[in-house]
């Protein structure tokens, strides 16, 4: 069976030891409220809710799925109660603006609670995660009136928010979209069109649903420069904040999907529906990206979160399931066979999960801290530096976390043998659920291209130069320490590969723009592995210092896992560098008709 305990100790390691969160938070306005005690208490309370209330709804949600009946969407049984427990505990308000009822805590803290929620029920967590995205967009771009009217309800979770981008002919290429908005005399707009793949487009969890819809104004230029964003509520809202009449927003059908069956995926129809402009006309993509940058990190985290529960479940199974004997001799002479955890290849699968998950958690913690700094730090220079790092690493988190997440879910399923393939064991659900994260919020190939095509060239390469500087400074600081050499030396090789690949892409891309696309996926993976290696090396520095006198085994485990990463996973970087340097001809030479 799938099992889950929130990895609180590892979260504490990232927050307190790797990020020195208390001190880092104290540099931010209002951040001194997040003391170490508060942080720990929040993690522990969040864990209780997730393990006891949310996790039990995951399998039911998969079996029942959402139901579409007479134009209304019903979530699986238990979802409403679980959702209410989340809102009642104030968990939706954690990192929101106190002006609208939020608790004003750092994003870096709430992100760990989100991991727990996602591990315990990815479908359910989506409703709340998308609401958070809508909150971010309205908070950044909405008028004061819209903020006053809608944000408090999104913060307390009594209303949800959803994003409505995709149309059947316009997925990645939003420039093709056709939904129209016409101005009304009262300053509002009338929105008409049809959207597909709208997660949470309708549901029975909240009183109201706030749709952020991309559409074209009558005078809109063609393409992506003619897209505006509109807030279209399911129920209109009276001036006193009470709900008014039903808007002409309707769900046409829901999709039957491979996974995340507890999350409704809706065809949404807007039939002259009342909407309100968010941000400036024709600048809807800008508003959308505020939301999407948050959601890209969230979707990346879904990869980690599914991989975490998959890993934990596989470890539990590998300890209990007895089958065969250790190659080096019997380990459990009192039993008819040894636990399969004795087999090196089972350990390979498990350690891959452990090494990726812990590096991902550390990396996302670091990126999240930079999100907080980029939004709240008083110093311009610090904000810019942090923003550069977030911009550069967001596509890496989205694409690589979700790729490795699927890989680890599959490896964990494999540990279960035939039982992994049977529904009741819960492992195949994780594989099916995790699979969507590689696709939605922009297919992973698009994020790889965002990295190599946009982020590398932004500000004349400043983002990647700064990142390489961080990496090289770290290497320089640790050089000469014999105890760390086994971690620093392989990382140095991988950083050199990344440096070479970065220069190669910049050069080749000038000659031929196809080179950027041809190199993109390998480059994204290369940067991800280097970043994971950096997290493991930083972890090793701390663990080496704390090892003497530690009786818990925690730091020894960190060092052993870091070694596994350096020896068994990081070597992929060499193949990636070689593959991307093969150039675009290897991909572009085949005529379309010859595939």
Applying the rule CB under 8 A, the residues between 188 and 227 that interact with its own copies are 196-197
β pairing state of 159-164 and 189-199: unpaired
Strand partners, 190: 182, 274
Query: Could you count the other beta carbons within 10 Å of the beta carbon of residue 369?
Result: 27
CA-based torsion, 376, 474, 349, 312: positive or negative: negative
393 lies in the site for its own copies, by CB under 8 A: no
By beta-carbon proximity to its own copies, the closer residue of 208 and 520 is: 520
333 lies in the site for its own copies, by CB under 8 A: no
327 lies in the site for its own copies, by CB under 8 A: yes
332 lies in the site for its own copies, by CB under 8 A: no
510 lies in the site for its own copies, by CB under 8 A: no
**Which of these ranges, 76-84, 346-354, 387-395, 470-478, lies near its own copies under the rule CB under 8 A?**
346-354
Q: Return d(Cα 6, Cα 1) in angstroms, integer.
A: 16
Number of residues that bind its own copies (CB under 8 A): 101
Helix (H/G/I), strand (E/B), else coil: 378:
coil
Q: In the complex, what is the shortest distance from the CB of residue 406 to its own copies, in angstroms, rounded to a whole number?
A: 7
Q: Among 226, 259, 300, 395, indicate the residue that binds its own copies (CB under 8 A).
A: 259
330 lies in the site for its own copies, by CB under 8 A: no
Could you tell me if 157 and 94 are in contact, meaning their C-beta atoms sit under 8 angstroms apart? no
Q: Among 145, 345, 481, 550, indicate the residue that binds its own copies (CB under 8 A).
A: 345
Q: Return d(Cα 321, Cα 324) in angstroms, integer.
A: 10
Per-residue contact flags (x/-) with its own copies for residues 87 to 126, judged by CB under 8 A: ----------------------------------------
Q: In the complex, what is the shortest distance from the CB of residue 178 to its own copies, in angstroms, rounded to a whole number?
A: 10
Could you tell me if 539 and 467 are in contact, meaning their C-beta atoms sit under 8 angstroms apart? no
Could you tell me if 92 and 61 are in contact, meaning their C-beta atoms sit under 8 angstroms apart? no
Q: In the complex, what is the shortest distance from the CB of residue 246 to its own copies, in angstroms, rounded to a whole number?
A: 28
Applying the rule CB under 8 A, the residues between 418 and 477 that interact with its own copies are 418, 420-424, 428, 431-432, 435-436, 438-440, 443-445, 448-449, 453
Q: Return d(Cα 193, Cα 170) in angstroms, integer.
A: 13
Q: In the complex, what is the shortest distance from the CB of residue 302 to its own copies, in angstroms, rounded to a whole number?
A: 14
Q: What's the Cα-to-Cα distance from 443 to each of 176, 264, 382, 424, 490, rounded to whole Å?
A: 17, 19, 31, 30, 31
Structure letter (DSSP) for residue 442: S
Q: In the complex, what is the shortest distance from the CB of residue 255 to its own copies, in angstroms, rounded to a whole number?
A: 5
CA-closest candidate to residue 566, choices 511, 505, 486, 497: 486
Applying the rule CB under 8 A, the residues between 553 and 592 that interact with its own copies are 553, 556-557, 560-561, 563-564, 567-569, 571-575, 578-579, 582-584, 586-592
Which residues are CB-neighbours of 576 under 8 A, at least 6 positions away?
497, 501, 522, 523, 525, 526, 529
Query: Could you count the other beta carbons within 10 Å of the beta carbon of residue 514?
Result: 15
Q: Return d(Cα 21, Cα 11) in angstroms, integer.
A: 11
Q: In the complex, what is the shortest distance from the CB of residue 173 to its own copies, in angstroms, rounded to a whole number?
A: 4
Q: Among 256, 334, 480, 551, indicate the residue that binds its own copies (CB under 8 A).
A: 256
- 426's tokens: 């819960």
Residue 470 φ/ψ, nearest 5 degrees: -60, -45
By beta-carbon proximity to its own copies, the closer residue of 367 and 498 is: 498
Q: In the complex, what is the shortest distance from the CB of residue 435 to its own copies, in angstroms, rounded to a whole number?
A: 7
59 lies in the site for its own copies, by CB under 8 A: no
Q: Return d(Cα 236, Cα 103) in angstroms, integer.
A: 27
By beta-carbon proximity to its own copies, the closer residue of 331 and 383 is: 331
Per-residue contact flags (x/-) with its own copies for residues 222 to 251, judged by CB under 8 A: ------------------------------
Q: Return d(Cα 450, Cα 470) in angstroms, integer.
A: 22
Applying the rule CB under 8 A, the residues between 149 and 188 that interact with its own copies are 166, 170-173, 175-176
320 lies in the site for its own copies, by CB under 8 A: no
By beta-carbon proximity to its own copies, the closer residue of 36 and 446 is: 446
Which residues are CB-neighbours of 224 under 8 A, at least 6 positions away?
174, 175, 285
Q: In the complex, what is the shortest distance from the CB of residue 160 to its own copies, in angstroms, rounded to a whole number?
A: 21
Q: In the complex, what is the shortest distance from the CB of residue 305 to its own copies, in angstroms, rounded to a whole number?
A: 18
Q: Among 304, 456, 518, 541, indicate the residue that binds its own copies (CB under 8 A).
A: 518
Q: Among 29, 144, 185, 328, indicate the residue that binds its own copies (CB under 8 A).
A: 328
Active site residue 441: yes
- 513's tokens: 């723009």
417 lies in the site for its own copies, by CB under 8 A: yes
Q: In the complex, what is the shortest distance from the CB of residue 216 to its own copies, in angstroms, rounded to a whole number?
A: 14
349 lies in the site for its own copies, by CB under 8 A: yes
Could you tell me if 223 and 175 are in contact, meaning their C-beta atoms sit under 8 angstroms apart? yes
Which residues are CB-neighbours of 529 under 8 A, at least 6 positions away?
494, 569, 570, 572, 573, 576
Q: In the complex, what is the shortest distance from the CB of residue 202 to its own copies, in angstroms, rounded to a whole number?
A: 17
Could you say which of 115, 167, 295, 441 is catalytic?
A: 441
By beta-carbon proximity to its own copies, the closer residue of 503 and 578 is: 578
Q: Return d(Cα 369, Cα 378) in angstroms, integer.
A: 14
Q: Among 203, 478, 520, 544, indicate the residue that binds its own copies (CB under 8 A).
A: 520
Could you tell me if 174 and 285 are in contact, meaning their C-beta atoms sit under 8 angstroms apart? yes
CA-closest candidate to residue 583, choices 499, 526, 505, 483: 505
414 lies in the site for its own copies, by CB under 8 A: yes
Q: Return d(Cα 409, Cα 97) in angstroms, integer.
A: 36
By beta-carbon proximity to its own copies, the closer residue of 153 and 354 is: 354
Q: Among 60, 143, 472, 512, indicate the residue that binds its own copies (CB under 8 A).
A: 512
β pairing state of 208-215 and 159-164: parallel
By beta-carbon proximity to its own copies, the closer residue of 470 and 582 is: 582
Active site residues: 441
């Amino acid at each position: 069976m799938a099992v889950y305990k929130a990895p609180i100790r590892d979260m504490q390691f990232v927050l307190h030891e790797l990020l020195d969160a208390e001190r880092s938070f104290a540099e931010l306005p209002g951040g001194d409220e997040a003391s170490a005690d508060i942080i720990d208490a929040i993690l522990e309370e969040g864990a209780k809710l997730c393990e006891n209330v949310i996790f039990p709804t995951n399998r039911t949600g998969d079996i029942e799925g959402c139901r579409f009946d007479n134009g209304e969407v019903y979530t699986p049984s238990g979802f409403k109660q679980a959702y209410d427990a989340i809102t009642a505990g104030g968990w939706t308000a954690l990192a929101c603006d106190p002006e609208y009822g939020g608790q004003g805590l750092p994003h870096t803290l709430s992100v760990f609670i989100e991991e727990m929620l996602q591990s315990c029920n990815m479908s359910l967590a989506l409703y709340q995660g998308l609401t958070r995205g809508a909150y971010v967009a309205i908070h950044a771009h909405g008028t004061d009136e819209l903020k006053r009217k809608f944000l408090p309800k999104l913060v307390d979770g009594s209303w949800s928010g959803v994003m409505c981008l995709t149309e059947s002919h316009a997925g990645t290429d939003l420039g093709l979209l056709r939904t129209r908005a016409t101005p009304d005399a009262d300053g509002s707009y009338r929105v008409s069109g049809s959207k597909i793949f709208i997660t949470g487009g309708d549901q029975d969890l909240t009183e109201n649903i706030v749709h952020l819809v991309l559409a074209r104004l009558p005078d809109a230029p063609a393409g992506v420069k003619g897209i505006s964003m509109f807030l279209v509520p399911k129920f209109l809202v009276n001036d006193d904040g009470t709900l008014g009449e039903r808007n002409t927003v309707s769900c046409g059908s829901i999709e039957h999907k491979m996974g995340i069956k507890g999350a409704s995926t809706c065809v949404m129809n807007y039939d002259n529906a009342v909407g309100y402009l968010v941000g400036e006309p024709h600048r809807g993509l800008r508003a959308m990206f505020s939301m999407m940058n948050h959601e890209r990190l969230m979707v990346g985290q879904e990869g980690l979160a599914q991989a975490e529960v998959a890993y934990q479940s596989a470890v539990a199974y590998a300890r209990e399931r007895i089958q065969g004997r250790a190659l080096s001799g019997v380990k459990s002479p009192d039993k008819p066979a040894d636990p399969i955890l004795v087999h090196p290849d089972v350990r390979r699968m498990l350690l891959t999960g452990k090494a990726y998950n812990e590096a991902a958690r550390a990396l996302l913690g670091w990126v999240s801290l930079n999100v907080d700094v980029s939004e709240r730090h008083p110093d311009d220079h610090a904000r810019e530096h942090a923003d550069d790092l977030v911009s550069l690493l967001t596509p890496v988190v989205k694409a690589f976390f979700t790729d490795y997440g699927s890989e680890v879910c599959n490896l964990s399923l494999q540990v279960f043998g035939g039982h992994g393939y049977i529904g009741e064991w819960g492992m195949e659900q994780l594989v099916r659920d995790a699979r969507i994260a590689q696709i939605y919020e922009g297919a992973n190939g698009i994020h790889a291209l965002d990295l190599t095509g946009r982020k590398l060239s932004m500000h004349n390469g400043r983002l990647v130069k700064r990142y390489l500087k961080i990496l090289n400074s770290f290497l320089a600081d640790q050089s000469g320490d014999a105890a760390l050499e086994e971690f620093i030396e392989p990382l140095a090789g991988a950083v050199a590969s990344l440096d070479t690949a970065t220069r190669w892409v910049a050069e080749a891309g000038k000659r031929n723009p196809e080179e950027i696309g041809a190199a993109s996926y390998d480059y994204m993976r290369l940067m991800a592995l280097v970043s994971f290696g950096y997290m493991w090396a930083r972890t090793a520095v701390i663990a080496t210092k704390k090892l003497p006198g530690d009786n818990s085994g925690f730091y020894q485990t960190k060092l052993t896992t870091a070694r596994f990463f350096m020896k068994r996973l990081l070597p992929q970087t060499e193949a990636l560098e070689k593959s991307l340097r093969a150039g675009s001809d290897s991909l572009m030479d085949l005529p379309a008709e010859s595939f």
